Amino acid sequence: MASQQLTYQDVAEHNTKKDLYVVIHDQIYDCTKFVDEHPGGEEVLLDVGGQDATEAFEDVGHSDEARETLEQLKVGTLKRNPGDPKPKTPLPGAVSPAANNESAGLGVGLYAILLIGGLIGYGAYTYLQQQQAAQSA
């Protein structure tokens, strides 16, 4: 059972309180029995029923205990067809390189500002030197 592969279209059919699947990180979870027990309430789960709930789940910053519960609800893996929506958030392992890239981008921007500032300063300095040299000549 746990090894079945379903497409987005298959999952989308399970979007009612009596039959509730969600996709989180490309794994499919059957929340039907859990929906009444969810500490965050049934509403939020019903909102993402039959859909990709990765972003909603990660935004809340669920505990390790919540992730263990999740494992028990697993019923299969998502079979992604061409044209299906992409995962909304990168997988946890992929987060830090993206964050690094962002800070690298800022670093390059800062270097560019410093370089341009330096060039302007140097230009003004040489210009003044030339002016002084012209005056004293």
Nearer to ligand HEM, 25 or 79 (CB): 25
CA distances (Å), origin 50, targets 47, 65, 84, 100, 119: 9, 23, 14, 33, 58
Among 1, 3, 18, 39, binds ligand HEM (CB under 6 A): 39
Give the residue with the Cβ less far from ligand HEM, 72 or 131: 72
Q: Applying CB under 6 A, does 43 fall inside the site for ligand HEM?
A: no
Residue appearing with tokens 């929506």 = 85
Q: Which stretches of the chain bind ligand HEM, using CB under 6 A?
A: 22, 29, 31, 34, 38-40, 44-45, 48, 53, 56-57, 60, 62-63, 65-66, 69-70, 73
